[in-house]
Amino acid sequence: MAELGFIGLGIMGKPMAGHLLAAGHTVRVYDVVSESVKELASKGAEACSNSREVAQKSNIVFIMVPDTPDVEAVLFGKDGVTEGIKSGSIVVDMSSISPIATKEFAKKLAALGVKMLDAPVSGGQVGAEKATLSIMVGGQPEVFAQIKPYFEIMGKNIVYIGTNGDGQTCKVANQIVVGMTIEAISEALLFASKAGADPAKVREALLGGFAQSRILDLHGQRMIERKFGPGFRIRHQQKDLNNALEAAHKLGLSLPGTAIVQELFNAVAAQEGGSNLDHSALVLALEMLGNCKVSE
């Protein structure tokens, strides 16, 4: 039976690791926040003091941390995974990070005899808690086949995309769509409100037509009710769009819509506490520009 490790027990990682535990697996866990480790240990996980210890005791190590530098530190920093991992082990990075950096990390791990999958997710905290995440996977197909049963414990829509970095590329594409859709819905509801129509009724009508989407359903309602507690924080959306714009620059590709949406997120993040609001709060930037609100 596989010895599992899980590093990163935030609002996403903690429930994901919990599902692996609930399925009967032994899971070694670590996070810089000791309370999260203690909570999972109370449910049967084995607490570890650092990433190195997790790797020493596991042959499959899952990682779920915020950003590219965090993954790099977990893997290659002091008391990191590579100080304890055994040849033949597998690292599964489920964070959302740079596709370019991911390819470099996979090469470094391969030199140690360690295989890697990049497997970022979509679905947010609710998806993590309900085990309904979409999981986009890059790496060797035979490694994907080996890890897929664990993905099925944590998510529902699991798609093998291609080689290392392709999972992260898919997540970047996902976040481009998400960001630009939030912006479009913000404009639509703001227009409706300024024109004197009831934005709640407009949203209801749009949900029955070609403009319907999960973002219109969930985030459109957030905008109308002005409930911007996270959710998915703006600072995380900014990070993902930075990955998109940086990769596009290296590819010689222009993404003008993505750049505009990022500037709107930047405008909200510049306000006190703005970076920790849900990404549906992008509407606040457009409300400032238009000197009106979707709803009071």
Mean pLDDT, to the nearest integer, of 242-263? 96
Q: What is the CATH number of the domain that holds 107?
A: 3.40.50.720
**Can 108 be counted among the known catalytic residues?**
no
**pTM of the predicted structure, to 2 decimals:** 0.91
The rounded mean pLDDT for the chain is 96
Dump pLDDT digits (tens) for 13-67. Answer: 999 999 999 999 999 999 999 999 999 999 999 999 999 999 999 999 999 999 9
Domain identity same for 10 and 157: yes
Taking the C-alpha atoms of residue 116 and residue 90, their distance in angstroms, rounded to an integer, is 6
Q: Which of 14, 103, 171, 293 is catalytic?
A: 171
- Domain extent, residue 89, equals 4-163
Query: Which residues, including other chains, have CB under 8 Å from residue 100's CB and lie 6 or more apart?
Result: 165, 246, 247, 250
* Token pair belonging to 94: 């489920």
Is residue 14 situated within a structural domain? yes
% residues pLDDT > 90 (the chain) = 95
Domain identity same for 224 and 246: yes
Domain identity same for 122 and 217: no
Q: pLDDT tier at 2 (50, 70, 90 boundaries)?
A: confident
Q: What is the CATH number of the domain that holds 281?
A: 1.10.1040.10
Strand partners for 92: 62, 117
Domain identity same for 186 and 135: no
Dump pLDDT digits (tens) for 152-177. Answer: 999 999 999 999 999 999 999 999 99
Domain identity same for 48 and 124: yes
Domain identity same for 223 and 276: yes
* Token pair belonging to 159: 């798609």
What SS3 class is residue 224?
helix
Other C-beta atoms closer than 10 Å to the C-beta of 292 total: 12
Cβ-count burial 265-282 (b if 16+ within 10 Å, e if not) = bebbbeeeebbbbbbbbb
CB 158 within 8 A of CB 138: no
Is residue 110 situated within a structural domain? yes
Check residue 82 and report its DSSP letter.
G
Taking the C-alpha atoms of residue 147 and residue 149, their distance in angstroms, rounded to an integer, is 6
% residues pLDDT > 70 (the chain) = 100
Pairing of strands 133-138, 121-122: antiparallel
Residue 207 pLDDT > 90, yes or no? yes
Of 105, 134, 163, which residue sits at a domain end? 163
Residue 1 pLDDT > 70, yes or no? no
